[in-house]
Amino acid sequence: MPPDVGSLVERARAGDPRAVGRLISLVENASPALREVMRALMPHIGRAQVIGLTGSPGVGKSTTTAALVSAYRRRDLRVGVLAIDPSSPFSGGALLGDRVRMQEHATDSAVYIRSMASRGHLGGLAWSTPQALRVLDAAGCDVVLVETVGVGQAEVDVASLADSTLVLVAPGMGDAIQAAKAGILEIADIFVVNKADREGADATARDLRHMLSLGDARQAGEWQPPIVKTVASRGEGIDDVVAALDRHREWLVASGRLDAKRRVRAADEIEAIAVTALRERIGDLHSGTLLDELAGRVAAAELDPYAAADELVAGLTSS
Amino acid sequence: MPPDVGSLVERARAGDPRAVGRLISLVENASPALREVMRALMPHIGRAQVIGLTGSPGVGKSTTTAALVSAYRRRDLRVGVLAIDPSSPFSGGALLGDRVRMQEHATDSAVYIRSMASRGHLGGLAWSTPQALRVLDAAGCDVVLVETVGVGQAEVDVASLADSTLVLVAPGMGDAIQAAKAGILEIADIFVVNKADREGADATARDLRHMLSLGDARQAGEWQPPIVKTVASRGEGIDDVVAALDRHREWLVASGRLDAKRRVRAADEIEAIAVTALRERIGDLHSGTLLDELAGRVAAAELDPYAAADELVAGLTSS
């Protein structure tokens, strides 16, 4: 039986976590109802503050996420959490599953927690992540935390989805250097030096400040990423992180950057959907034989790949 | 002045490393001559054995690559090396640059070594890597070694470009487990336990064998990935790796898998070129304003992203 999308959206907006979960499953599995779901969600979106969290394994991302959930719950806000799992493209499964640290929030109906596999074929983040964000936004979440695990492209992608991106580092792991190498210095709106009760926290903060000063000089009026020290496992410094997030949000709105970010995000999403549709059409050309036939000729060195691609594109735009 | 492609290809085939380098630069920078270069190369390709090397940082990939180059040079074969750098999408630079370990081969005109940045926008491997492979193949390299650094999507991509993929692990790094998590067990045609003079080498080999036995039972006639122990820094075990590569190559040819792999690779490449061309056309629609206009409407929640994508695709196929 096809799902009653209108009723699901209504129940999700009333705070029914099963309805939220069902909607995310519909968008995650690219169900036939996906377009209907998106249409039904659109009138309700645009309110949630989207916060990305990233950093090397072991830096305390899940603990920090849980502490931020508690802080926003104290403000009586509804919170969504999307944990993106860089699982194997082969196994298809999620390595982490549900998060132990999150259990204190598991029975709170104003907190919605979901793990999503990153399938990798759109550059790291699950292609369905933007759609899942829309579901949580439309369902009335005031804040959505998007946590990525691992290091790499996903960290860069999360910055494009989030309004504000937290980059977590820990003392004594050479993390500031690692962050610089992985290209995640540039994506941080706020740095969090977690486990700041450990030796070397001040040195790590100093390293970060130094590396930031080495980067391109920021123009006047640009955002200067603050460095906040936390011990997330004891909740220390979390209010400072929230205050920094509030300040960043205000700056985004006042500077017009929030609108600009959302336009870029929408353009990326539209283009990704269009390219997926075009790939499907390419696969369908000549009853699905054209690409295969061209590949055979390229593999046999009878045709160069650019000339083959020209034939595909011509087939697509003339059909 | 536009390059004289015919003369460059002739000089590259005669073994002039500067001509090889110039051709790779032309394909790497997507120069206007790219199509002409590809057409000129096609009659000469299809001979090189492409070998991928991958594994966690510190496992000895560069040392093993250098030792394999020496082994193939003793057979008097011409060797190309492409080292793929997972550099920051922001910095654009290559972190590793030229390899110290490779210096012994730097003056050997039968060895061509090149670092390439992975730009990340086609899922890890530089989009120009297949084209650079074609240049080295056409230039008469008998063997091309493709070395990826880091862990992630690039490891999976290298397997799709290579005829044979070596996965390197080292004792006592929990590397077998890491490899399983990263999904690179499945891509290995041959496992190399490097630094096998260290404690734990036998345990690592045993772990690997155990994990392979846990995977899907391989059908009769399927390739069983061997596990080879090496101390690459002293050249120990390298002949065994080369022998395993020879056996895998024979199996690929006899089973018809080499042809099948090359067809899949050609199809992927053609599709990637076609999608890039389609993205450019999308960007050009309505003098470059259509995507931006649709993004504005989606960001303002006036239009859902699927309906917006439909308009893009319609504009593309009717123009």
Sorted by where each begins, the domain ranges of chain A are 1-44, 46-255, 268-318
* pLDDT tens, residue by residue, A287-306: 789 999 999 999 988 999 99
Residue A268, min C-alpha distance to chain B (Å)? 8
Q: How far is CA B94 from CA B97, B104, B113, in A?
A: 6, 21, 14
Within 10 angstroms of residue A289's Cβ, the number of other Cβ atoms is 10
User: How far apart are alpha carbons A272 and A161 in whole angstroms?
Assistant: 14
Using an 8 Å CB-CB cutoff, list chain B residues near A43: 301
The chain B residue lying nearest A268, using CA atoms, is B295
Q: How far is residue B128 from each of residues A144, B27, B62, B116, B265, measured CA to CA in Å? A: 37, 6, 21, 9, 13
- Tokens coding A206: 């100093």
Tell me the pLDDT band of B35, cut-offs 50, 70 and 90. Answer: confident
- Which of A145-154, B25-34, B126-135 shows the lowest mean pLDDT across its residues? A145-154
Q: Which residues of B touch A298 (CB under 8 A)?
A: 266, 269-270
Does residue A155 carry a pLDDT above 70?
Answer: no
Residue B216 has pLDDT above 80, yes or no: no
Partnered with residue B55 across adjacent β-strands are B168
pTM beyond cutoff 0.90: no
Could B277 and A313 be called an inter-chain contact, meaning their C-beta atoms sit closer than 8 Å? Answer: yes
CB-CB under 8 Å, A156 with B152: no
Q: In the predicted model, is pLDDT for residue A98 greater than 70?
A: no
Asked whether the beta carbons of residue A292 and residue B262 sit closer than 8 angstroms, the reply is: no
Q: Collect all residues of chain A within an 8 Å Cβ-Cβ radius of residue B121.
A: 123
Contact B153 A120 (CB under 8 A): yes
Measure Cα distances from B217 to A202, A220, B213 in Å: 52, 62, 7
Q: Give dist(CA B82, CA B100) in Å, integer.
A: 15
Where is average pLDDT lowest: A279-283, A287-291, B56-60, B217-221? B217-221
Residue A146: how many CB atoms within 10 A of its CB? Answer: 26
**How many CB pairs lie under 8 A apart between chains A and B?**
190
Q: How many residues does chain B have?
A: 319
CATH architecture of A46-255: 3-Layer(aba) Sandwich (3.40)
| Residue in A closest to B90 by C-alpha | A183
| Model confidence at A122: pLDDT above 60 | no
Closest-CA distance, A34 to chain B, in angstroms, reads: 9
Q: Which of A124-133, A143-152, B98-107 has the highest mean pLDDT?
A: A143-152
Closest CB to A183: pick one of B45, B89, B275.
Answer: B89
**Looking at residues B168-195, what average pLDDT do you find?**
77
| C-alpha closest to that of B83 among B68, B35, A40 | B68
- In what helix (H) or strand (E) does residue B42 lie, and over which residues does it extend? none
A41 vs B304: CB contact, 8 Å cut-off? yes
Q: Poorest-confidence range of A5-9, A28-32, A137-141, B276-280?
A: A28-32
* Selection from A90, A121, A119 nearest residue B268 by Cα: A121
Question: Is A270 in Cβ contact with B301 (below 8 Å)?
Answer: no
Q: Which of A306, A311, A316, A319 best tests the B interface by mutation, with the highest count of B CBs <10 A?
A: A306
Q: How far apart are CA A58 and CA A170, in angstroms?
A: 8
Cβ proximity of A279 and A313 under 8 Å: no
Q: Is the pLDDT reported for residue A281 higher than 70?
A: yes
Q: State the complex-level ipTM.
A: 0.79
Q: How far is CA B178 from CA A85, B46, B183, B210, in A?
A: 15, 34, 9, 14
Burial (CB < 10 A; 0-12, 13-18, 19+), residue A170, is buried
- Closest Cα in chain A to B27: A306
Domain B45-255 has CATH 3.40.50.800: no
B150/A178 Cα distance (integer angstroms)? 12
pLDDT winner (highest mean) among A164-178, B14-28, B208-222: B14-28
Q: What are φ and ψ of residue A51, in 5° steps?
A: -120, 125
**Contact B271/A303, CB-based, under 8 Å?**
no
Check residue A216 and report its DSSP letter: P
Residue B205 corresponds to which tokens in the numbers above?
Answer: 């080999």
Mark yes or no for CB contact A304/B43 under 8 Å.
no
Which residues in chain A touch residue B290, judged by CB atoms under 8 angstroms apart? none
Rounded mean pLDDT, B106-133: 69
Contact B313 A277 (CB under 8 A): yes
Cα B182–Cα A119–Cα B208 angle in degrees, nearest 5 = 20
Closest residue in chain B to residue A39, using alpha carbons only: B304
In angstroms, the separation between the Cα of residue B46 and the nearest Cα of chain A is: 7
Taking residues B167-196, what's their average pLDDT? Answer: 78
The burial of B310, by beta-carbon neighbours within 10 Å (0-12 exposed, 13-18 middle, 19 or more buried), is given as middle
**List of chain A residues whose C-beta atoms are within 8 Å of the C-beta of residue B161:** none
Partner-chain residue, chosen from A46, A183, A312, that has the shortest CB–CB distance to B301: A46
